[in-house]
A = this chain, B = another copy of it.
């Protein structure tokens, strides 16, 4: 017997037929003798519909009212799933955020979970009742409904799993796991059986489609083993009652990953822009003088590379931002030209960042060199490089994106995992 939290997104509960399919997944786990809590999103499209209504009411709206309105979608899907489960003979009840309660901070619209008391849920587990929980929401210190921001149901699920000390948090989604790279670019991409929390966080483009970044951070902090699997699976297919067998990816502590790969995935981000400041005066505080105003302008700076210029007095500063922010960034930089004292600013849009990720590279030298050589052999020019302990990111020209991803996927043997 295990204690399992299952999470289903909006597409999985889009209509009554799909809710029935979700209920069959839940019943399977109950039939195995597991204690089960289910976290659901609103029926697909409902949250957008509610958001549109609040915008139509007033473009500048009170976040507390926004939350009260938008959180109502999950109440419906949770109630419906409880009804369907009951009709299948499974004892179930729905829980609204304030009933558990899921206590959050006061940051309405993008609240963070402060505390969940799992006692009431655990009590119901004891009588064999399934808890169907409205995701995405909680109650703020002002006793008003709060929401966790878009994709918040993943976070709800992981937080509930931590609160009830669950053995596993199963995230049912429209993909059947995390792949070594985007299968639309490299058909030979393979599904990872296990991936560490750290790798998952670094996977950005690969991971974000599967699981909200905040929920992965939360899972890492609380050590919640999180299993990503497809909600389109036939609920009672062979092997579905076996803990380790269903297709999917387990996101877990790296301790649990016995065979560590040097490299586990190749991620990419399109529409990057590169901005270079030429001959910046090389003095203390110059970085702050540049990146402070950019941050104030709401621009998310990603890679930062600083080269020493020849004479030691000046340096070149290169960084990347989303292509859409270039005009805003240039305007901000223009304003600080005198203070920073750079000679020229250059910008280029439509670039791509390709990243090689793997916890194994910590203990293996030469992982980066393999990437550089492989790209060079294909004639792909490297514009900038940044590295972390478990990731190497390389900035290249946009048209080479697919070639670079496939080349790196191949050179690290990811199709053979």
A50 contacts the other chain (Cβ, under 8 Å)? yes
A205 contacts the other chain (Cβ, under 8 Å)? no
Question: Are A79 and B86 neighbours in the complex by a CB distance under 8 Å?
Answer: no
Q: Complex Cα distance A331/B152, Å?
A: 57
Give the distance to chain B from A53, nearest Cβ to Cβ, in Å: 6
List B contacts of A64 (CB < 8 A).
93
Among A156-208, those with CB < 8 Å from B are: none
List B contacts of A69 (CB < 8 A).
75-76, 79-80
List B contacts of A73 (CB < 8 A).
72
Q: Mark A62-90 against chain B: 1 for CB-CB distance below 8 A, else 0.
A: 10111011011101101110111011000
Interface stretch (choices A94-102, A316-324, A402-410)? A94-102
Question: Are A65 and B93 neighbours in the complex by a CB distance under 8 Å?
Answer: yes
Q: Complex Cα distance A303/B84, Å?
A: 43
Question: Are B75 and A61 neighbours in the complex by a CB distance under 8 Å?
Answer: no
A381 contacts the other chain (Cβ, under 8 Å)? no
Give the distance to chain B from A62, nearest Cβ to Cβ, in Å: 6
Question: Are A60 and B79 neighbours in the complex by a CB distance under 8 Å?
Answer: no
List B contacts of A58 (CB < 8 A).
83-84, 86-87
Q: Complex Cα distance A58/B90, Å?
A: 13
Question: Are A86 and B99 neighbours in the complex by a CB distance under 8 Å?
Answer: no
Among candidates B16, B62, B75, B143, residue contacting A57 with C-beta atoms closer than 8 Å? B16
Question: Are B50 and A16 neighbours in the complex by a CB distance under 8 Å?
Answer: no
Q: Which residue of B lies closest to A81 (CB)?
A: B57
Q: Complex Cα distance A94/B72, Å?
A: 13
Q: Complex Cα distance A56/B83, Å?
A: 10
A144 contacts the other chain (Cβ, under 8 Å)? yes
A145 contacts the other chain (Cβ, under 8 Å)? yes
Q: Complex Cα distance A143/B69, Å?
A: 21
A148 contacts the other chain (Cβ, under 8 Å)? no
Question: Are B65 and A72 neighbours in the complex by a CB distance under 8 Å?
Answer: no
Q: Complex Cα distance A54/B60, Å?
A: 34
Q: Complex Cα distance A73/B72, Å?
A: 8
List B contacts of A87 (CB < 8 A).
57-58, 60-61
Q: Which residue of B lies closest to A71 (CB)?
A: B75
* Most chain B CB neighbours (cut-off 10 Å) among A56, A57, A75, A76: A57
Q: Mark A296-307 against chain B: 1 for CB-CB distance below 8 A, else 0.
A: 000000000000
Question: Are B62 and A86 neighbours in the complex by a CB distance under 8 Å?
Answer: yes
List B contacts of A60 (CB < 8 A).
87
Question: Are B76 and A53 neighbours in the complex by a CB distance under 8 Å?
Answer: yes
Q: Complex Cα distance A69/B145, Å?
A: 16
Question: Are B79 and A66 neighbours in the complex by a CB distance under 8 Å?
Answer: yes
9 smallest CB-CB distances across A and B, nearest first, come from A69-B79, A58-B87, A57-B83, A72-B72, A68-B79, A65-B79, A61-B83, A72-B75, A16-B56
Could you pull out 8 A-B pairs where Cβ atoms are within 8 angstroms? A54-B80, A57-B80, A57-B87, A60-B87, A65-B80, A66-B83, A71-B75, A99-B143
